[in-house]
Structure 1
Amino acid sequence: MTEPKTADVMCRRVVTAAPDATFKELVGTMIVHEVSMIPVVDSAGRPVGMVTEEDLATKLEFHGGAANPPMLGGAHTRARWHKSSATVAAELMTPSVSVAENADLRAALRLLAGVRVGGLCVVNGAGTLVGVLGRLDALRLFLRGDNAIRADLERQLRPVSTNEHRVTVRVVDGAVTLDGGLCLRSATQRAEWIARAVPGVIAVRNNLGFDVDDLMITGL
């Protein structure tokens, strides 16, 4: 498995809502489908916003807007108070953040780190919604089987292995152990970097030996 893309882990079965979906429809959809967020899409299927369970819960928190506006708590608290009187998705939603389906997962997760709603809308080349990416979707990579991880890593390490210098890979519960030896010390470090980047790897123990300490020679 190469560098995973957003499409590799995103949730493809997405329940959406139109901007005019009512408050009660949104609550019912979340409960029936057991989701915590609903993308709001326009007539062409392009995402325009995201409604979360937090948005809906403001109606209880602030008595549907009957409670006095909060004096403290900052802009986010005031925005929640305004949503408490909303009746349709367009009034409840937060503008959505989109990512291309072919984007590197690593870049998508960095983008997700700055998103308050906790999910990204994944779109195709036409800007149409094709999935949703949450942190839990990405974490599923750590459920990859040990055999799949080992085969993936052995394939990636093949260029550095020779008849005289080989790397033996063991994987137990996602933890990788590298045994054997390579010609250069820098090659042993590169082997560890490769291992750490394989999807599903949790930890790496590098037991690789080397013949020449090229890092000492170069002063690195």
Structure 2
Amino acid sequence: MAAITLLDYGMCNMLNVARAFQHVGAQLTITEDPAQARSAERLVVPGVGAFSNSMHELNRRGHSDAIRDFVATGRPMLGICVGMQMLFEGSEEFGDTNGLGLLTGWVRAVPDQTVDGQPQRVPHIGWDKLFVPEHTNRSWAGTLLEPLAQIDPAVYFVHSFCAVPADKADILAECDYGGHRLCAAVARDNIVATQFHPERSGEIGLRALRHFVEM
């Protein structure tokens, strides 16, 4: 099993993520040290809450450059929820805030109306199915989601904002919310990230995390 380094920057309940990785047999280290993040075999950046607060903590603690340096090594990195959103150029949540700029695109508000103009709840909370992006024939083979390709997977979401990648080829999976296709996962080179919470998605999420450890 690969060694997993979980980055703790004070903006996530690390316990659930840590337990999920331990459950799938990962050799797990939790660190607040940017140098240890840089030298990780595989790095995981989780996140909950507001984008601006999370980016502030990454910058304040020296983790932003550490994440960029790690990605430049070509070793695998996984972002979860806000940990996915921060990979992009920025977010409009509570005013524009710059992100890590590792992927092009911005984080926008989840629509508060369905495509038919009916009000819908924001935040988007609950279980929804994952779909291959409708604008592409992209395969999940060789990615984090490969073990889910044949099982019509449903996973758990909690979010009010969602990444809108500028390069649609970065979108690995989508979900349907009120007729809107929202970006649910992205992948580019050694970066993979999910808007949904695999650590809260039962056996489906554990399959994905196990594959990240083993792939």
Measured against the shorter chain, the TM-score band is under 0.3
Larger Rg: 1
Q: TM-score, normalised by structure 2?
A: 0.24
Higher strand proportion (structure 1 or 2): 2
Q: TM-score, normalised by structure 1?
A: 0.24
Higher helix proportion (structure 1 or 2): 1
